[in-house]
Amino acid sequence: MFKKNENGKDDETVKAARLKKIGTRNALVDNVKGLVVLLYMVDHAILHMPKDGYAASPWWGHSNPVLIPSWGFNIIDLGPILFFFVIGLVYFSSFLRKYETDGRAAYKQAVSRNLAFMGLFLGLMYFTGAVEKPAALWNTVPSIGFASLLAVPFLIPQISKSAVWKGVLGVGVLMFYHFFHEKLFALFAYIPFEHQSGEVENLVHAGGMAACVGYLGIILLSGAIADVSKKGIIPYEVLTALLYVSGRLCSVLVPPSYPDMNVTWMFSALTKINLFYFGFYLLDKLFLKGREIPILAAMGRNIFLYLFIVLIFQGIFAVFNFPVAHNRTEAFWIVAVISVVYIIIAISLQKSKVIFKL
């Protein structure tokens, strides 16, 4: 005979309902994550392009305050924030489901998973970099592991369940990043670069570990946005408008700055990406009604695998000394081959119900 819980329901019935809920996925988020992968594919094509092509085609390079208005962001600049936005959409709810079944062991799993994530990709980065230069540089991929690791202390149920707590703490983290931004970059973001002349110059390497503090703020704010859109605390349309206005105001007071990635750059990018997500939200609400777009959903569920495949290809290129693309057409062909391999594997995994989730 089953025990009764305080609401008078059978414990086994409650457990079965909970397990059924755990087994469901958010099709909207999976669709968005799939599009993020597509954008990242284009991002990698841009990275393989000859750098002198940026002057002739500035919209394919990093945002340039001279050529592009301060509010403007190119796809290559939004790339990292896209990942941290979608991480925040699912990170806290996913952990809560894990916590309900595994208890405190869920914290150990979160820490070990992110450490392994960093170790795996840093190892591959070092291997590919050691072939061409003394050491590989930090990039978006290990930042995903490090920022997610920084978010572990915020996974306690009281915060994970509360849109208000995540919002307040997200703003607090970004304020900390604002005031200590220069010190963080001085410690973690500058790398020595030796020119052919022998002159050594300290260059900013697109944030590195320093930017992960700002990424943590994005994860928390994205988690709050996800809660608001699901729980109806305020209409999501109103929240999107408020975010956009706030981003515009911040960009006027303190212009976004790349590559030092100041707090306005982080927040302004968040408002842009939230508009992108809001478009998918409306599409789902009006037409899809919670249905997935098969190929996008398959790609979105296996972002981890895509990042791994990208680095494997980079390793092959480095070992066999394959040349990088000489023009945009060659760059897109390189990424197209990687993408086709990934899409075929992702669809096969979806049919087998296997997920390499981010």
pLDDT tens figures, 108-127:
999 998 888 788 777 776 77
The per-residue pLDDT for 95 is 93
Residue 17: band (very low, low, confident or very high) from pLDDT cuts 50, 70, 90 = very low
* Residue 154: pLDDT over 90: yes
CB 46 within 8 A of CB 76: yes
Among 268, 180, 164, 149, which residue's Cα sits nearest to residue 224?
A: 164
**What's the whole-number average pLDDT of the chain?**
77
Domain-wise residue ranges, the chain = 25-61+292-358, 83-291
pLDDT of residue 14: 45
Cα 324 to Cα 48: distance, rounded to the nearest angstrom: 6
Most confident by average pLDDT, 75-79, 135-139, 192-196, 328-332: 328-332
Across 8-24, average pLDDT:
46
Tokens of 195: 């020119």
**Chain segment 217-260, per-residue pLDDT in tens:** 999 999 999 998 887 778 999 999 999 999 888 888 888 877 77
Over range 274-291, report the average pLDDT: 89
Query: Could you tell me the CA-to-CA distances from 261 to 81, 167, 191, 357 in Å, in that order?
Result: 11, 21, 16, 27
pLDDT at 15 over 50: no
What CA–CA distance (Å, rounded) separates 308 from 303? 9
Residue-level pLDDT at 204 = 55
Distances (CA, A) of 3 to 18, 19, 101: 16, 18, 18
